[in-house]
Chains A and B, each alone.
Chain A
């Protein structure tokens, strides 16, 4: 027959441990809730990020400049007729050996248009020839689209220069 005192101590101990369990459970629930609130408030920062360039989206003003650039007639030494830049670049790809660099007046005009107009909006601007991959050139260097992946959004536009060799001329505007 157990002692009455012993039983009441045991019952009290049981009650205390039960209360501790409830307190612990409440604390866990509240901590979990606070963490959730913190995550939600930090997610809210990214919610309103509208207006920046989406992947695959074309940047209309740059696209207009790109077509105008390719349609610009340039006078070349020793040639009577002015050729448009598209034609000049096309001939560069047909030449043997083909030239995939941007040089002379074409390079200067590209630099004046694209770097002057869009440098403030985009951290990387690249214009040049594209074979299977983009071919680096003197004024614009290496194409970012091929050298890095993710972490940036690019707007691209390309035009076919040489159907036989599948050579394109492309512009990339990237936000890194």
Chain B
């Protein structure tokens, strides 16, 4: 009779140890899964290159259509009201004093295609970001992203142009960690 009671007590003790073990494994597996999720999703998605590309593409679309410069591009008025005419705004969300410092920069330079002589340029936004377009800063995560694109265009009189557009996006706090 006593032997039977001892056996039951032994079994209960063993069951307790097994459940502690299962909890231990459960915590290890859950911890592992949480660690993996943090590892994968913890770093922000850096979308600044896409943003800079979109900025440059919309400027290119505004300047040239079907291979020809838009007529007003060569007028001073166009250059003075560039952002309004091209329907671009540099508004950003109110995050870590972004409103105090512009987060975008764009620069379009026009050259004579044959002689490569400079004709005129248009520049808007935070000029300090232009520094980061130098080769030495490229690929560094914590710096603003800058891209440069060139294309060839004509005017209605047959003039040939090389247009170089630089687009830069800062927004470091949200895209790089």
Segment at the interface with A among B29-37, B71-79, B91-99, B123-131 = B29-37
Kindly state the separation between the CA atoms of A117 and B60 in the bound complex, as whole angstroms.
15
B contacts with A, residue count (CB < 8 A): 35
| B35, B50, B149, B154: the one within 8 Å of A72 (CB) | B154
| A36, A62, A72: the one within 8 Å of B32 (CB) | A36
Interface residues in B23-55 by Cβ distance below 8 A to A read 25, 28-29, 32, 35-36, 39-40, 43, 45-47, 49-50, 52-53
| B39, B50, B152: the one within 8 Å of A50 (CB) | B50
Q: Is the CB of B152 within 8 A of A48?
A: no
Kindly state the separation between the CA atoms of A30 and B32 in the bound complex, as whole angstroms.
9
Q: Is the CB of B152 within 8 A of A37?
A: no
Kindly state the separation between the CA atoms of A40 and B40 in the bound complex, as whole angstroms.
6
Kindly state the separation between the CA atoms of A68 and B151 in the bound complex, as whole angstroms.
9
Interface residues in A51-76 by Cβ distance below 8 A to B read 51, 60-62, 64-73
Is A113 interfacial (CB 8 A cutoff)?
yes
Is B82 interfacial (CB 8 A cutoff)?
no
Kindly state the separation between the CA atoms of A51 and B116 in the bound complex, as whole angstroms.
29
Give 18 A-B pairs besides A44-B40, A68-B153, A73-B158 with Cβ atoms closer than 8 angstroms. A26-B25, A36-B36, A37-B35, A40-B36, A44-B39, A44-B43, A47-B40, A48-B45, A50-B50, A51-B49, A64-B152, A65-B151, A65-B152, A67-B67, A69-B152, A71-B68, A71-B154, A113-B152
In order of increasing CB-CB distance, the 3 nearest A-B pairs are A51-B49, A67-B67, A68-B67
> Please, could you name 24 A-B residue pairs with CB atoms under 8 Å apart, sorted by A?
A29-B29, A36-B32, A36-B36, A37-B32, A37-B35, A40-B40, A47-B40, A47-B43, A48-B43, A50-B45, A61-B56, A61-B57, A61-B60, A64-B60, A64-B151, A64-B153, A65-B153, A67-B66, A68-B67, A68-B152, A68-B153, A69-B67, A69-B152, A118-B150
Which A positions have Cβ atoms within 8 angstroms of B? 22, 26, 29-30, 33, 36-37, 40-41, 43-44, 47-48, 50-51, 60-62, 64-73, 113, 117-118
